[in-house]
Structure 1
Amino acid sequence: MGEYTGRIEIARPPDEVFAFLAELRNMPRYLPTVTHVGPQGRHEQHDDVAVEGEAGGHPYHNDGWLKAEPEARRMRWGSHTMKDYGGALAVTSAAGGAVIELTLSLTPKPEVAQRMQAEHGSVDAGMRRSVDRTLGSIKACCEQADAPPRDIANDEDPAEARPFGSSATPNSGT
């Protein structure tokens, strides 16, 4: 399993950035292959979630879990079906606002790894690029017109707000 990390500064207050990221309905805004995320139940240790979307022209559905720790501004997640997939992020204070540190752990499926090798020269380069694009997408959502991040529940068409066309998380359907 590979581990991929990234970091980005965002010119917004850290509590605001974390609140945006922890709201499930906002995930399609910064993970554009995701079209829907919904709660599936609550456990003492985490919340179960269902994620749906499309990646590489293939629809997917995955059941997983998410643990948000608002007081520490940390989140961890994983998949119930893909045991070698998980991630974590932390939002900390910085001079100009917030810093997000993202860690993604996974082994891409062979066909995804082959595509990354062909397109980026290596799986590591492809994964680093995906992590960077996701962090850039989060930054764009949070800093958009220097306004507080919007909750997509109030947007008429959340697809219009997706600044990038790929996700840092190669999904089960790719």
Structure 2
Amino acid sequence: MGNHEAWTTVDVAPNILFDRLSDLDHLPEYIPWLTSLHRTAETPVTAQGPEARRPHQAVHEDVDVTVGGGHRDGWIDVLDEDRVLRWGMDGPHRYGGELIVDFVADGTSKLTVRLHTTETTNVDEELDRTLATIKTAVEHDQPTESSEGEQR
């Protein structure tokens, strides 16, 4: 299984960036190859907040994912305190990975994606494209200083 890693900086605070990326209902908006993602079970009680689980315990979600027109079963673990999203899927090119959001400076994050896959074609290019898509989407979705102070 091949291991791949790529990272970029994003001009958004780490907590905001992670909140956006860990919102599974909107995750396909940020991942270019992900057509849809649907939970296959009720949202677990542990997803209600950190007080409902042990420290650094992941919220585990079983999901049905549409990638390139095909459905696959998978899972996603969200570790809020660590700002880590881990996932895995079965299929002909079984793979898993993790997305990590780290603090760089006020209003800036480092976004790292690690991927473990049997696929060998264009993996690094797809990682770079995914990071660029996330960076663009999240940075352009931020209110500007002039719009924050405007009265409506």
TM interval, shorter chain, is 0.7 to 0.9
More displaced stretch, 27-36 vs 2-11: 27-36
Question: Unaligned 5+ residue runs, structure 2?
Answer: 47-57, 145-152
1:34 aligns with 2:34: yes
Output the amino acid matched with 1:6.
Answer: A
Match of 1:52 among 42, 63, 66: 66
Task: Write the mapping of 1:5-24 to structure 2, written as runs, cut at 5 A.
Answer: 5-24=5-24
- Report the more deviating stretch, 23-32 or 37-46: 37-46
Largest Rg, 1 or 2:
2
| Cα distance in 2 for residues equivalent to 1:146 and 1:13 | 10
4+ runs of 1 displaced by more than 6 Å? Answer: none
Structure 1 residue runs without a partner (length 5+): 114-122, 149-174
Q: CA deviation at 1:82?
A: 5.5
Whose helix fraction is larger, Structure 1's or Structure 2's?
1
Q: Deviations over 1:58-88 (max 9, x none)?
A: x110110000011110111001445831001
Aligned residues: 129
**Letter paired with 1:50:** D
CA RMSD of aligned residues (A): 2.2
TM-score norm. by structure 2 comes to 0.76
Which of 131, 134, 149 is the equivalent residue of 1:135?
A: 131
Residue 30 of structure 1 deviates from its aligned partner by: 1.8
Q: TM-score, normalised by structure 1?
A: 0.67
